[in-house]
Structure 1
Amino acid sequence: MTDDTDAQTQTDTSGRSRDAAASPETVDRVAREYTEAGRPFARVTVVRREAPVSAHVGDRAVVTPDGELLGWIGGVACAQSVAIREAKAALETGEPRLVGIAPDPDTVDRPGLEAFPMRCHSQGTLELFVEPVTTPARLVVVGDSPIGRALVRLASELSFAVTAVVPSGTEVAGADEVATATDDVDALAEIVRGATWVVAASMGATDDVTVAAALASGVPYVGLVASRRRADELCERVADRTGRAADEVRAAVTSPAGLDIGAKTPEEVGVSVLAELVAVRRAGEVTDAGTLDAATTGEWSETGTATTDASADETATDSDGAGEPNGTVATERAVVTDPVCGMDVVVGEAAATATHDGETYHFCGVGCREAFVDDPARFLERVES
């Protein structure tokens, strides 16, 4: 039987109920779809709970890299924001983690568990297992050229799942998968769909088809082994063929592909391309002969458009921190305090914000923001202390 404290916590502070959340079957289906598409996500499962919380052991959710939570791990926004933050961190490190959320973190703190305070009024205790689900970065190399073959062979030594797209009957050393080359854009788009990187290395034979197919499939990185002059001409042809603006096509294509290391031989060019891919993969941006930044290496989307968050680039306005979020000088992934519930909130990832006297405050949820807006003075004392 469910006790009264459980019954009254079946909705969160925004009124969202368990019935309104995605069902376990839907969560499992989405997880399968993400896995099949090669999209990373984190699976969050409730492994322990103490009333009053609305979650039960076995409740689960998936969290995307951009912080969307689908499923049910309890309705309280404070707990959900901790789960989302830790899921995103797990995706960055690739390591699973056990998370405890309790009114007094010391009561659940133990080796192997990261404990956080339960700041919301409903209290209760949750322990969550956060499991990052990722697939090896998939590299598709299109073209049976010396550079293409060298790139496939060298990439096989790294943690890439390599697909070589070559003429029928061709064997390629180091390839995990070999697909048949085609000049049909739609057919090639199906081959490259879900890839992390696509490199056109046919030396002009099918490069325009490769670029058009990669753009149609929303591949985040499209590299072209070509001179800048040939790349410009190719992008003009692809623009005419696809109805896109030439500038849009050129901006989406990295060419010459690879870091400028003075490469001459096919193997050296392959090393330069892989060096660029590793740099982008590990750091998110790299500057070379052509510039790669968040606009070309953003999170996967159905349209292939990268997404950026301008709010994450907040910088100090003066020496005493005036105008900074919650009274602190903002830095990359700066953590500030929700002035209402006291919870840690990552700048740029807050569920809600409000400005008071020229200063921006970040909140774990809309409920905390509304409480602050109604009576800022009541909560500013907490921030100052």
Structure 2
Amino acid sequence: MAARVHELTGQRRPFVHATVVRAQAPTSAVPGDDAVILADGSIEGFVGGVCAETSVRAAALDTLRDGNTVLLRVLPNESEQFPSVPGAQVVVNPCLSGGAIEIFLRPMLPRPLIGIAGETTPIGAAVVTLAGFLDLEITKPMSYAGASAVVVAGLGRGDEQAIRAALDAGVPLVALVASRTRSAAVLDSLGLSPAERARVRPHAGIDIGARTHKEIALSVLAEIIRDLRATEDAPHAPLHLTDISEMSGGRTAIDPICGMTVVIGEDTPHAVVDGVEHWFCCAGCRDRFVAA
């Protein structure tokens, strides 16, 4: 599974790494078993049987949304004697075959991409250095697809081309490092539409009285982070700033046999009885419901 985790990280795909940290017989999982849960809810690897996977899938998708790690305790019933852990999320899984397990869920979110035009200038170089400290990933030069923001710090060298390239790549925020006068001239020369103009921050940077190159870089990145934070649905979520386009829609249903909450996906056991749709944690619950 380590190779798969490395592969997904390199592909900048959001996922959750789930690892069994404690297990009580007769559960089939053992400490060290692990799996990855992708943003579409699919699971690769092993952290327990079908019913345990149902609980893991639902909790994992929640961690992708808020970015928080979770210790998930899956118990067969509320009275199960299993050493408690403060702060753990407890799920009672009546389908579980007698055992209990604890699974650590760690969301792995791609770092936000920041493009820099003019990274060899003193201000551009300072932006690169500070971006690394802030866990921001720098794109390749002039490769802005998927970037959350682009800093244009060419100081008069190719600024217009960089702004045009960033806007054409769909970058939502372009920070132009220039004086107010030159910023106005650059933007006027581009003939931007109102919508494009709204995506550019002329004379970028929060006013902190910056004088040095590093201070200017700090003010620019502070403005970028502030603006991007303002667009997030969860203000306290990690600054991953990515469009998780494959994220499961989060539709859930209650298994009418065992009472579990299940995430509805392509592989979720399903049945239509008397014109009503029902979803189940496993094929066993579905078959029992249909036969009743």
- Shorter-chain TM-score category? 0.5 to 0.7
Residues 223, 255 of structure 1: 8 Å contact kept: no
Q: Equivalences for 1:138-177 in 2 at 5 Å?
A: 138-142=113-117, 152=127, 156=131, 159=134, 161=136, 163=138
Distance in 1, Cα, partners of 2:28 & 2:274: 37
SS of the residue aligned with 2:13? Answer: coil
1:352-371 alignment to 2 at 5 Å? 352-357=269-274, 359-371=276-288
Q: Deviations over 1:147-192 (max 9, x none)?
A: x96x959x859945153x7xxxxxxxxxxxxx6x4xxxxxx44xx5
Q: Which amino acid aligns with 1:44?
A: A
Counterpart position of 1:204: 160
Q: 1:142 to 1:366 in 2, by over 3 A?
A: farther
Which residue in 2 is equivalent to 1:235? none
Corresponding residue for residue 58 of structure 1: 32
TM-aligned CA distance change 1:280 to 1:37, over 3 Å? farther
In 2, the alpha carbon distance for the partners of 1:109 and 1:357 equals 44
**Residues 1:266 and 2:266 are matched in the alignment:** no
Q: Are residue 30 (structure 1) and residue 30 (structure 2) matched? A: no
Cα displacement string for residues 232-261 of structure 1 (whole angstroms, at most 9, x for unaligned residues): 6xxxxxxxxxxxxxxxxxxxx976326xxx
Following TM superposition, by how much is the alpha carbon of 1:297 offset from its aligned partner in structure 2, in angstroms?
6.0
Please give the TM-score of this superposition, normalised by the length of structure 2.
0.65
The equivalent of 1:130 in structure 2 is 105
Is the alpha carbon distance of 1:345 and 1:357 closer, same or farther for their aligned partners in structure 2, counting shifts above 3 Å? same
Q: Distance in 2 between matches of 1:355 and 1:255?
A: 52
Q: Distance in 1 between matches of 2:97 and 2:76?
A: 10
AA aligned opposite 1:30: R
Q: What is the count of residue pairs matched by the alignment? A: 254
C-alpha distance in structure 1 between counterparts of 2:273 and 2:118, whole Å: 58
Residue aligning to 1:116: 91
RMSD value, Cα: 4.4
User: Relative contact order (C-alpha < 8 Å, sep 6+): which is higher?
Assistant: 2
Task: Indicate yes or no: 2:243 matched with 1:298.
Answer: yes
The one-letter code matched in structure 1 to 2:60 is A
**Counterpart residue number, 1:322:** none
Identity %: 24
Letter in 2 for 1:86: A
The equivalent residue for 1:92 is 65
User: Judging changes above 3 Å, is the alpha-carbon distance between structure 1 residues 367 and 276 closer, same or farther for their aligned structure 2 residues?
Assistant: farther
Matches within 5 A, 1:208-287: 208-210=164-166, 214=169, 223=173, 230=191, 256-257=198-199, 265-267=203-205, 274-283=225-234
CA distance in 1, matches of 2:82, 2:242: 39
1:337 to 254, 263, 267: 254
CA distance in 1, matches of 2:133, 2:264: 34
Which runs of 5 or more residues in structure 2 are unaligned? 153-157, 176-186, 207-218, 236-240
Residues of 2 paired with 1:34 and 1:360: CA distance? 34
Distance in 2, Cα, partners of 1:257 & 1:365: 48
Name the SS of the counterpart of 1:123 in structure 2.
Answer: coil
CA gap of 1:355–1:58, structure 2 versus 1, over 3 A, is same
Offset from partner CA, 1:266-288 (integer Å, 9 cap, x none): 3369677544422334449xxxx
| CA separation of 1:68 and 1:77: change in aligned 2, threshold 3 A | same
Q: CA deviation at 1:45?
A: 1.4
1:110-152 deviations in whole A, cap 9, x for unaligned?
Answer: 23232222322633222212223335423223357x9x96x95
Partner residue of 2:53?
Answer: 80
> Which AA in structure 1 matches 2:31?
V
The one-letter amino acid paired with 1:206 is A
Q: Is the 8 A contact 2:51 2:96 kept in 1?
A: no
> CA distance change for structure 1 residues 363 and 122 in 2, over 3 Å: closer, same or farther?
same
Match of residue 78, structure 2, among 96, 105, 108? 105
> 1:29 Cα deviation (Å)?
0.5
Residue 208 to residue 272, structure 1, CA distance change in 2 (3 Å)? same
* Residue 42 of structure 1, aligned match among 2, 8, 16: 16
Q: TM-score, normalised by structure 1?
A: 0.51
Alpha carbons 2:27, 2:96 under 8 Å: kept? no
Report how far residue 71 of structure 1 moved: 0.8
Unaligned runs of 5+ in 1: 1-26, 166-178, 182-187, 216-220, 233-252, 285-295, 300-305, 313-332, 379-385
Task: Label 1:130 to 1:274 Cα distance change in 2 as closer, same or farther (>3 A).
Answer: closer
Cα deviations across residues 2-43 of structure 1 (Å, max 9, x unaligned)? xxxxxxxxxxxxxxxxxxxxxxxxx11011122334433222
Aligned-residue offset at 1:342 = 1.9
CA distance in structure 2 between the partners assigned to 1:254 and 1:353 by the alignment = 46
